[in-house]
Amino acid sequence: MTPQPPVPPSSLGSERAAIERLLDANLDRAREGLRVLEDWARFALDRPDLVARSKDQRQRLGRLHQERYKLARHTASDPAAGMTHPAQAERQDGASVLAANAGRVQEALRVLEEFGRMEDPLLATEAAAIRYALYDLEVDLLQAGRGGDARRALLRRCHLYLVTAPVQGLEQVVAAALAAGVRLVQYRAKADGAAALPGAAPHDRHRFAQASALRQLCHRHGALFLVNDRIDLALAVGADGVHLGQDDLPPAVARRLLGPDRLIGRSTHRLEDLRQAVADGCDYIGVGPVNATPTKPGRDPVGLAYVGQAAAECPLPFFAIGGIDLANLAAVRRAGAERVAVVRAITGAADPGAAAAALLAGLEAGA
For this structure, is 188 an active site residue?
A: yes
- Active-site residue, selected from the candidate residues 21, 151, 267, 333: 267
- SS3 at position 81: coil
Cα dihedral 172, 177, 181, 182 sign: negative
Could you confirm whether 10 is annotated as catalytic? no
190 is catalytic: no
Rounded CA Rg of the chain: 25
Active-site choice (188, 230, 262, 266): 188
* 37 Cβ neighbours under 8 A, 6+ residues apart: 54, 98, 101, 102, 105, 137, 138, 141
Task: Please count the helices (runs of H) and the strands (runs of E) in the chain.
Answer: 16, 8
Q: Give the H/E segment covering residue 270.
A: none
- Catalytic residue selected from 58, 266, 296, 333: 296
Sequence letter at residue 341: A
What letters, b where the CB count within 10 A reaches 16 and e where it falls short, cover 249-264? eebeebbeebeeebbb
* Amino acid, res. 348: G
Active-site residue set: 188, 267, 296
